Amino acid sequence: MAFLLDGKPLAVDVPFTVGDVNYPANWLRLSTAQEKKDLGITEVADAPTYDSRFYYGDGTARALDDVNEVDENGDPLLDENGNQVVTLGLKSIFKAQEKEVAGKYLAKYDWYVIRKYEASKAIPTAIKTYRTAVRTACLTRETEIDNCADTAALVTLYGSTEKDGVYTPNMTQYPVDPNA
């Protein structure tokens, strides 16, 4: 809750003065609603906050799909090379992030692949299985992202579900590193 005095905000845990009376920093927390009202202090709801990954500051949902930009006449907006300017939507952004995450998981064991190529030494089965599972999880996560029909579905996908105090991610998880 936010507090206003004469239409001006009052910060919680900050001393303030009304007339000739100084009030301590904890007064807003310790006073009753009636005591606040008697001084002319009103409570107002805090402004809503939105997850900036999915929404703009005013709560407007970010575009899910890519948008071909146009000028004021509705003609395609082109870059300096004559290519269509495209603003990436959330799906493209999140899928690119998934590729980056998967790439980092795979990079840790790339040396096995190089060693096999250069020295014909086998890649351990656990590493091959892990690398395949990382690629599969990434593809599955990208499909889950693509299957979201709206921003609310995407928010749910990136959230978790609670059951009996245990939180389970809603999205497919990457495999556990075999050497973790």
DSSP helix/strand/coil, 50:
coil
pLDDT exceeds cutoff 90 at 180? no
DSSP helix/strand/coil, 105:
helix
Which DSSP category does 58 fall into? Answer: T
60, 71 contact by CB (below 8 A): no
102, 138 contact by CB (below 8 A): yes
The set of residues, in sequence order, having a beta carbon less than 8 Å from that of 127 and lying 6+ positions away, is: 109, 112, 178
- The confidence band for 47, taking pLDDT boundaries of 50, 70 and 90, is confident
Q: What mean pLDDT is predicted for residues 173-180?
A: 95
The set of residues, in sequence order, having a beta carbon less than 8 Å from that of 30 and lying 6+ positions away, is: none
Instruction: Please tell me the predicted confidence (pLDDT) of residue 106.
Output: 98
Instruction: Give just the sign of the alpha carbon dihedral 155, 157, 161, 167.
Output: negative
- The reported pTM is 0.76
Q: How far apart are CA 145 and CA 156, in angstroms?
A: 11
Q: How far apart are CA 50 and CA 101, in angstroms?
A: 25
pLDDT in tens, 132-157: 999 999 999 999 999 999 999 999 99
Write the burial class of residue 113 (CB in 10 Å: 0-12 exposed, 13-18 middle, 19+ buried): middle
- The confidence band for 48, taking pLDDT boundaries of 50, 70 and 90, is confident
What is the number of residues in the chain? 180
- 18-24 contact pairs (CB < 8 A, 24+): none
